[in-house]
A and B are shown apart, each in its own frame.
Chain A
Amino acid sequence: MQQIPKDMFEPASVDLSEAEKISRPSLSFWKDVRLRFRENKLAMFGVILLILIVFMAIFGPMMTKYDYATNDLVNANKPPSSEHWFGTDDLGRDVFTRTWEGARISLFIGLSAALIDLFIGVVWGSISGYRGGRTDEVMMRFADILYGVPYLLLVILLMVVFDQGLGTMIIAMTLTGWINMARIVRGQVMQLKNQEYVMASQTLGANTNRILFKHLIPNSMGQILVTMTLTIPSAIFTEAFLSYLGLGVPAPLASWGTMASDALPALEYYPWRLFFPATFICLTILAFNVVGDGLRDALDPKLRK
């Protein structure tokens, strides 16, 4: 046996308050999510791509000496060159400038629609899910019926009643877009409302407002964020689609959708006019999808250790 000095066997003073100390630095839920997200290379690529696209949307039009509306018929339908980096369209307008002006509009429409869907959907879904019973049935049946009405019919009706424009476009898209978010939030809320911390809040005397906004919705944030990042590309695509049908923003305003729509008849001869807006529609949608997937994975508690 090794030699140990006798005084080592004297009682040690034990500081019991030390027993409750937490040694690890505070790691909130979102920090943890950020860490995991950052490890996902594809998702990070998506983030960088988005940052680039937004950057260009803001600064792109300023990089050329052209503006998006000025006609220059002499130079119509010129392919990409050092003068016009993306070429010109049938009215001689610089495609590069119009692409980035269009980006502003497409992104704005996409984001606004998604945000409106978010607000309506979250409030609708959480009230329906929390209240349950009759209220839930009525609210969800209404949503189901609305969902069942032919979408295009509704949009065309809208376009007839109101003038074509940015506002009308957004209304058209948010008519039924919120239903998906509402369903997802309702599902989450129904799962969470039986948790003991909700019961604790009820016992403390919390009203429905407090329970929804302090407990249920914050804990559904993960799902809400993911759904939102996946709603935006869907909105951008819908805008492109509606524009293609001729229901888009009026000329000379450009969105990627209207540009693609105008470019289609001349595809064989002047392909660059479709190539650029279409490419950026695809890239943006890809980026949002990849970021959304990455978020979903980062939020998955089962992968958490």
Chain B
Amino acid sequence: MTDKLLEIKGLKQHFFTSKGTIKAVDGLTFDIFRGETLGLVGESGCGKSTTGRTIIRLYNATSGEVLFNGENVHGRKSRSELKKFNRKMQMIFQDPYASLNPRMTVADIIAEGIDIHGLAKTKKERMAKVHELLETVGLNKEHANRYPHEFSGGQRQRIGIARALAVEPDFIIADEPISALDVSIQAQVVNLMKKLQRERGLTYLFIAHDLSMVKYISDRIGVMYRGKIVELAPSDELYRNPVHPYTKALLSAIPLPDPDSEKTRQRKIYDPSIHDYNGEEPELREVSPGHYVSCSQAEFATYTT
């Protein structure tokens, strides 16, 4: 797990609107190691979805680099170079009702990647691959000729996973894949993703706002706030030992299914003005092995004593 599959350096995604510039992603630098699941959490507007979409080049980055196996995903690229990345990196989307084309059969949806990249030589081969993928995600062969609206949310999400797997990617960005699903179905999808990771050696970037589910599936977690990463640490460590005041506030706000603890819980509130930066740009500094926190020099001193 020590070699880097993705290196993100100084990634910025600014949207220029009539009201001014929205700095959705404002200078992200982090790595994703081969075979790991990196969780990215934050509340609405923090830029986590935009980060995912920029990494996969659905949006062109305003500045910064995304190196996949050392190669920059952004910059001037030919169609075939871009297509190469399409096979290596794939995405699972949030809304099971909007992520599948309602006019296409499940077979066509799953086989789209196969068709684009010419991965099947005959119709029979194509169908065989579709059936195989359906079974991999726990659905039946008979579902291939049905339409998305006949399936439940959880089943649709699994069709989306099958679609992403069809091109045999190394890296999958999961953009809030379970937020729109019922609790018991979330567990199904998460278990499936873990199984696929074990079997196929996949690397995941798991974007979500539900910290308990993210902690369960991720090896490391990055916490985002207003376009920047404020804390990055292994999952257990982040929960046991949150350092950044925003992380502490976030963790304290999550309601746990435990009435006794809920009665005694104290919520912490995050007020950005408690940082006294004085014009200094906070940086991600390592406060303990593998545990990074965005802070000023002065704060760093307090965190490490």
Contacts and interface: CB of A to CB of B under 8 A. Distances in A.
A82 interface: no
18 contacts: A20-B143, A20-B155, A26-B150, A27-B147, A29-B102, A29-B103, A195-B98, A196-B94, A196-B95, A197-B98, A197-B109, A199-B93, A201-B112, A203-B56, A203-B90, A204-B86, A205-B113, A205-B116
A91 B95 CA distance: 69
Given A20-B140, A215-B101, A202 B58 contact: yes
A28 interface: yes
Nearest to B113: A204
Contacts of B146: 22, 26
Given A20-B155, A215-B101, A219-B103, A204 B112 contact: yes
A200 interface: yes
Interface string A176-200: 0000000000000000000111011
A200 B103 contact: no
B297 interface: no
A28 B147 CA distance: 7
B150 A27 contact: yes
Interface residues of B, number: 40
Interface of A: 17, 20-22, 24, 26-29, 195-197, 199-207, 210, 214-215, 218-219, 221
Q: What 9 pairs between A and B have smallest CB-CB spacing?
A: A205-B86, A196-B99, A196-B93, A197-B101, A204-B113, A218-B103, A196-B98, A205-B83, A203-B91
Contacts of A196: 93-95, 98-99
A200 B163 contact: yes
Interface of B: 53, 56, 58, 79, 82-83, 86-87, 89-91, 93-95, 98-104, 109, 112-113, 116-117, 138-140, 143, 145-147, 149-151, 155, 160, 163, 167
B140 A21 contact: yes
B139 A200 contact: no
A21 B152 CA distance: 11
Contacts of B140: 17, 20-21
B137 to A, nearest CB: 10
Contacts, number: 82
Contacts of B98: 195-197
Contacts of B117: 205
Contact of B93 (A21, A29, A200, A206): A200
Contacts of B87: 205
Nearest to B167: A204
B141 to A, nearest CB: 11
A210 B150 CA distance: 25
Contacts of A27: 147, 150
A36 to B, nearest CB: 15
A29 B95 contact: no
Nearest to B139: A20
B88 to A, nearest CB: 11
Contacts of A29: 102-103, 147, 149
Contacts of B56: 203
Given A200-B99, A219-B103, A24 B94 contact: no
B99 A214 contact: no
A200 B139 CA distance: 20
Contacts of A205: 82-83, 86-87, 113, 116-117, 167
B69 to A, nearest CB: 18
Contacts of B109: 197
Contact of B102 (A20, A22, A203, A219): A219
A22 B150 contact: yes
A68 to B, nearest CB: 44
B138 A24 contact: no
